[in-house]
């Protein structure tokens, strides 16, 4: 049930931070705590107007547009603010910054931190950074990493940058490289896995992905980096960007990623826990792309626990 006090009519002038954004998404951000169904009802009934006219949910805003937002009961932020950014998390995120300018922020996301809240996670990377940077007018995730995967995550500080990077990601404009420790001996002749992937949602709400001829085209390129007893460190380059792509392609190749409790083998994961690998050994270690005529390349160092395993086993 919604709580808090109803707001007065608002007339909001759109700035460049919201240029090109759909009105439904804009309202979801402005009216935090209001159910999505309520927002679509406001649009359908014409209670929300842009430049005094009715608009559909897919209408895209322009700089200078005047948005009329009717009185609507919103959740009191104080009631929702059960999550907070601890000093240790603030320090961790500050020290994890790999690159920053007025357009873009790239973070070396730690394993175990979701990129956004939801599904029982009250505070993700994007929410934490917004709390730490309340002055930021615009801060949005460019792409995602699984919660247990560590490494490079891009966040746009301008809508123009977000749209540009989405365009690069849809093509081959961003060179993304991962390091994965996989079970067994990966053959140097196995340079790619090209298998379609189909996403399923179990009754529990858990997402599972399987190779399936009816799935979406997916291609991952691989290169052997180093060999260990019972495992191989490989570099993975996802050419496509499907959910759990690298993890499922490694499993399909007969070499599940060590520490993968969804697609790996429990007995193997247990053996490597005893050798110091206590999490999914998948790390987005490098990004390279051209943005507005400037080449940007960053590398994220392995976390101490993974680096310790690599050093001790060498």
Which pLDDT tens digits describe the chain residue by residue (314 residues)?
344 444 578 888 887 777 888 999 888 888 877 888 888 889 999 999 999 999 999 999 988 898 999 888 655 444 444 467 888 889 999 999 999 999 999 999 999 998 887 655 568 899 899 889 888 889 999 999 999 999 999 999 998 999 999 999 988 899 999 999 999 999 999 999 999 999 887 766 678 899 999 999 999 999 999 999 999 999 999 999 999 999 999 999 999 999 999 999 999 999 999 999 999 999 999 999 999 999 999 999 999 999 999 998 86
User: Whole-structure pTM over 0.85, yes or no?
Assistant: no
Tokens of 303: 């976390």
C-alpha–C-alpha distance, residues 105 and 296, integer Å: 12
User: What is the gyration radius of the CA atoms in the chain, in angstroms?
Assistant: 22
Residue 146 known to be catalytic: yes
Residue 164 near residue 143, CB atoms below 8 Å: no
How buried is 37 (Cβ within 10 angstroms: 0-12 exposed, 13-18 middle, 19+ buried)?
Answer: exposed
C-alpha–C-alpha distance, residues 167 and 176, integer Å: 15
C-alpha–C-alpha distance, residues 140 and 300, integer Å: 20
Q: Which of 146, 172, 261, 305 is catalytic?
A: 146
C-alpha–C-alpha distance, residues 5 and 11, integer Å: 18
C-alpha–C-alpha distance, residues 69 and 47, integer Å: 7
For residue 259, the 8-state DSSP code is T
Residue 208 near residue 219, CB atoms below 8 Å: no
Residue 259 near residue 247, CB atoms below 8 Å: no
Q: Quick check: helix, strand or coil at residue 115?
A: coil
pLDDT digits (tens, 9 = 90+) for 230-265: 999 999 999 999 999 999 999 999 999 999 999 999
The conformational region for residue 312 under phi > 0 = left, psi -120 to 50 = alpha, else beta, is alpha
pLDDT at position 137 is 84
Contact residues for 85 (Cβ-Cβ < 8 A; gap 6+): 123, 128, 131, 132
C-alpha–C-alpha distance, residues 23 and 156, integer Å: 19
pLDDT at position 279 is 95
pLDDT digits (tens, 9 = 90+) for 59-113: 999 888 989 998 886 554 444 444 678 888 899 999 999 999 999 999 999 999 9
């Amino acid at each position: 049930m919604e709580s808090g006090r109803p707001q007065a009519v608002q007339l909001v002038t759109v700035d460049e931070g919201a240029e090109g954004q759909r009105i439904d998404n804009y309202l979801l951000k402005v009216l935090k705590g209001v159910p999505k169904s309520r927002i679509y009802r406001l649009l359908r009934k014409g209670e929300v107007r842009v430049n005094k006219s009715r608009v559909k949910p897919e209408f895209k805003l322009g700089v200078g547009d005047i948005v009329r937002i009717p009185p609507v009961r919103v959740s009191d932020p104080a009631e929702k603010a059960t999550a907070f950014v601890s000093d240790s998390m603030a320090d961790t995120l500050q020290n994890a910054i790999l690159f920053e300018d007025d357009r873009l922020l790239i973070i070396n996301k730690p394993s175990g931190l979701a990129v956004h809240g939801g599904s029982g996670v009250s505070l993700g990377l994007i929410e934490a950074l917004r709390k730490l940077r309340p002055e930021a007018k615009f801060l949005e995730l460019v792409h995602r990493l699984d919660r247990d995967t560590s490494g490079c995550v891009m966040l746009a500080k301008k809508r123009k940058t977000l749209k540009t990077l989405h365009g690069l990601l849809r093509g081959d404009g961003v060179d993304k490289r991962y390091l994965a420790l996989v079970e067994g001996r990966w053959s140097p002749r196995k340079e790619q896995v090209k298998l379609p992937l189909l996403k399923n949602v179990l009754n529990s709400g858990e997402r599972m992905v399987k190779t399936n001829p009816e799935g979406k085209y997916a291609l991952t390129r691989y290169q052997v980096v180093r060999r260990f007893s019972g495992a191989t460190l490989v570099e993975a380059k996802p050419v496509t960007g499907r959910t759990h792509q690298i993890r499922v392609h490694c499993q399909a190749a007969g070499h599940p990623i060590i520490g993968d409790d969804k697609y790996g083998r429990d007995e193997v994961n247990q053996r490597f826990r005893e050798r110091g690998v206590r999490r999914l050994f998948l790390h987005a270690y490098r990004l390279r792309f051209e943005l507005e005529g400037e080449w940007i390349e960053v590398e994220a160092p392995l976390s101490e626990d993974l680096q310790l395993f690599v050093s001790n086993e060498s």
